[in-house]
């Protein structure tokens, strides 16, 4: 018989004005924003946790689950208590022997209004998930089903894919992977990521102008950015 999970309150959702800014940024942009400011691994989750389909992407507020040995009872408990706007992040201890959930629970997450489900472990029903179009990120797939016996912990800090994830953190995913921004540093990271995105867009404009000049037979501008010349001492 299953034991009741240790359950903590769901965190407040990240304010919508911050989410609007975050939705303009990719996981790569956010990693750029976390670079060199002391956030472990620049907030980049292990590359082995990826989307069921490359078209899947999400932005949301983390709620967390800790479980092990392919047991999904605490995931069920968290799922039925969840509200729209959360990303369920599951520390499944990188278990590869059972699928933690399949398309039935994915469908439940979608109709509840979760933004995504992320698990450090395997899932099943890959084709059903693709048809559903609900963002699911995992280590891989196995057809063997989960057990439903262990208590687990809901909404406490976890480790997922080598990254500490706390309830309330920003979690963003796409085909490149998943970035986790600590909530207490969210505004700082957004500012840095937005500035880097401006730089990236300017670089694209430079490349477009170079291509235009080259096609027109005009003298071409210098493609090397200023920081390269500075390092070289030009």
User: Could you tell me where in the chain the CATH 3.50.30.40 domains are found?
Assistant: 6-184
CA distance 31 to 35: 6
Helix, coil or strand: residue 173? strand
Residues above pLDDT 90, as percent of the chain: 94
> Strands 170-174 and 58-66, how do they pair?
antiparallel
pLDDT in tens, 2-56: 678 999 999 999 999 999 999 999 999 999 999 989 898 999 999 999 999 999 9
Look at residues 197, 196, 198, 222 and name the one whose alpha carbon lies nearest to residue 209. Answer: 222
Banded model confidence at residue 181, pLDDT cuts 50, 70, 90: very high
Whether residue 227 has pLDDT greater than 90: no
What is 6-184's CATH number? Answer: 3.50.30.40
Note the Cα 23 to chain centre separation in Å: 12
Banded model confidence at residue 68, pLDDT cuts 50, 70, 90: very high
Banded model confidence at residue 139, pLDDT cuts 50, 70, 90: very high
**Global confidence as pTM:** 0.94
8 A C-beta contact, residue 5 and residue 154: yes
pLDDT score for 208 = 95
């Amino acid at each position: 018989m299953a034991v009741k999970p240790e359950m903590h309150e769901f965190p407040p959702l990240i304010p919508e004005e911050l989410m609007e800014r975050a939705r303009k940024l990719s996981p790569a942009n956010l990693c750029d924003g976390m670079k060199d400011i002391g956030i472990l691994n620049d907030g980049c989750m292990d590359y082995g946790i990826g989307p069921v389909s490359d078209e899947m992407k999400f932005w949301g507020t983390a709620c967390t689950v800790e479980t092990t040995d392919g047991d999904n009872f605490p995931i069920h408990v968290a799922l039925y208590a969840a509200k729209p706007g959360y990303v369920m992040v599951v520390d499944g201890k990188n278990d590869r022997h059972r699928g933690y959930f399949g398309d039935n629970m994915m469908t439940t997450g979608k109709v509840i209004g979760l933004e995504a489900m992320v698990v450090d472990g395997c899932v099943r029903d890959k084709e059903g998930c693709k048809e559903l179009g609900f963002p699911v990120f995992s280590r891989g797939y196995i057809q063997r089903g989960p057990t439903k016996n262990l208590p687990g912990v809901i909404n406490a800090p976890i480790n997922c894919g080598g990254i500490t994830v706390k309830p309330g953190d920003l979690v963003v995913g796409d085909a490149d992977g998943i970035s986790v921004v600590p909530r207490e540093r969210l505004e700082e990271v957004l500012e840095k990521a937005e500035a880097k995105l401006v730089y990236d867009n300017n670089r694209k404009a430079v490349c477009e102008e170079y291509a235009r000049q080259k096609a027109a037979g005009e003298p071409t501008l210098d493609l090397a950015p200023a920081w390269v010349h500075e390092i070289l001492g030009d």
